[in-house]
Amino acid sequence: MSSCLVFTHIISEAEENYQVSLKDDPTVEAAVRDLVRKLAKMKITTLTKG
């Protein structure tokens, strides 16, 4: 799945669950990108230590 689709899915799911509009908000996009990067780094760190 491309990163664009991942971001879109995360934002769409949040919009559906909380009945808010988050699309086209650069702050939201940056926060989602940052979250995904941090989770990926955690996963890489976990895999390399194991």
- Going residue by residue through the chain (50 aa), what tens digit of pLDDT does each one get? 677 888 888 899 999 999 999 988 899 989 988 988 898 899 888 888 76
Q: Is the pTM of this model over 0.75?
A: no
Burial class (CB in 10 A: 0-12, 13-18, 19+), 43: exposed
pLDDT at 50: 62
